[in-house]
Chain A
Amino acid sequence: DQQVKQNSPSLSVQEGRISILNCDYTNSMFDYFLWYKKYPAEGPTFLISISSIKDKNEDGRFTVFLNKSAKHLSLHIVPSQPGDSAVYFCAASSNFNKFYFGSGTKLNVKP
């Protein structure tokens, strides 16, 4: 049973608009979360992280929100650009142990 779920396999957004990618988890012990971006034929690259002591973390156009009571995190990209088109994975860990990954959401940003 997957402990980290990304229920939307794909998302299409117009350039300049906001992209919102969602991730749910079941293990209440998870306390550190990351987002990775993956282009075709490449390995995932780290994008942004958040610790459970925070509910928001920003890095330029990317913001991650964490709702611990709902066991939900989201990645906001504003404004979206065509170069953001990729597969986005969320990952979670507890007590700095190994990570569990979601199945990924393929984002397509249309020019």
Chain B
Amino acid sequence: NAGVTQTPKFRVLKTGQSMTLLCAQDMNHEYMYWYRQDPGMGLRLIHYSVGEGTTAKGEVPDGYNVSRLKKQNFLLGLESAAPSQTSVYFCASSYEVGTEAFFGQGTRLTVV
């Protein structure tokens, strides 16, 4: 049982490049989330999904897009990367919203 798996673990992008972060969960959870963690800021919610085919904005959605075409996958896209998007990104899933979430191991993204 892998839980929540994020791909890739590390990535360096040049300003203006695009990329997609993939999150996969095998727990049949309805709810999935993308967070970013920055020094001194804790975890901030970017986007979340309450089920297949649905997405919603979190606290810091600008510059990101998401898709949930399959229940087990939640994709986070950066269309035109900016240095301000240098961060550690965590995906999480939960059985219900507002209950304890299971996190992936994180993706460290650097935009130069």
Contacts and interface: CB of A to CB of B under 8 A. Distances in A.
Q: Do A and B bind each other?
A: yes
A96 B42 contact: no
B98 A2 contact: no
A42 interface: yes
Contacts of B33: 98
A46 B100 CA distance: 6
A96 B43 contact: no
B89 to A, nearest CB: 10
Contact of A42 (B44, B48, B92, B105): B105
Interface footprint category on A? 20 to 34
A103 B44 CA distance: 9
B40 A93 contact: no
B102 interface: yes
Contact of B96 (A45, A89, A96): A96
A34 B105 CA distance: 19
B109 interface: no
Contact of A98 (B97, B104, B105): B97
A64 B44 CA distance: 23
B111 interface: no
B41 interface: yes
A43 B92 contact: yes
Closest CB pairs A-B (n = 6):
A96-B98, A43-B103, A101-B43, A46-B100, A103-B42, A101-B42
Interface of B: 4, 33, 35, 40-45, 48, 58-59, 90, 92, 96-106
Interface of A: 2, 4, 6, 9, 32, 34, 36, 41-46, 49, 89, 91, 93, 95-104
30 contacts: A4-B42, A6-B42, A9-B40, A32-B98, A34-B100, A36-B103, A41-B106, A42-B105, A42-B106, A43-B4, A43-B90, A43-B104, A43-B105, A46-B100, A46-B102, A89-B42, A91-B43, A93-B98, A96-B98, A97-B97, A97-B98, A98-B33, A98-B48, A98-B58, A98-B97, A98-B98, A100-B45, A100-B59, A101-B42, A103-B42
